[in-house]
Amino acid sequence: MRTHTVIDSPTGGLTAVIEDGALVGLYFEGHLRRPSADTFGERTDQGFEEVRRQLGEYFAGTRSEFALPLAPQGNDFQRRVWDLLLDIPYGETRSYGDLARQLGDPALAQAVGAANALNPVSVVIPCHRVVATDGSLRGYAGGLDRKRFLLELEEPAAEREARLF
């Protein structure tokens, strides 16, 4: 059975969706390609305590990895891409081409981008850590301002200070 709640964050409300105890969706307000709300199940705060706690710690800068049961629904290729996203360390980025090469075919960069765009568990499965080859920010289902915010949140202090001075 699916249930959902809305969790406050510095990026606005995040709709969290759980099915059978696993997080299957985490969507921003105005999220591109957000499923219809009627697929989210009943709204309740019960069962979301750990999701709420870990997201709060992440946004407070005290959590760099999530330890939540995940069950994103997608095809085999999408799940392979999403698994690679989970391996990108906090505070680091990879390019679409980097991920395509990890999958064994540099020509898959656009397909990686398409799978990234369909990531149903934003923030926790860190699709915001994927950038263009030149380091510029490209598409993000939550919007580029949110992507920039998340990357700045994760930016190591030394890099942030070097950028300021």
Q: Are 107 and 100 in contact (CB under 8 A)?
A: yes
Q: Round to whole Å and give the CA distance between 16 and 36.
A: 13
Residue 28 in 3-state DSSP? strand
- Name the β-bridge partners of 7: 14
Angle at 93 between CA 18 and CA 111, to 5 degrees: 70
Task: Choose the catalytic residue: 127, 130, 131, 150.
Answer: 127
Note if 49 is an active site residue.
no
Catalytic residue list: 127
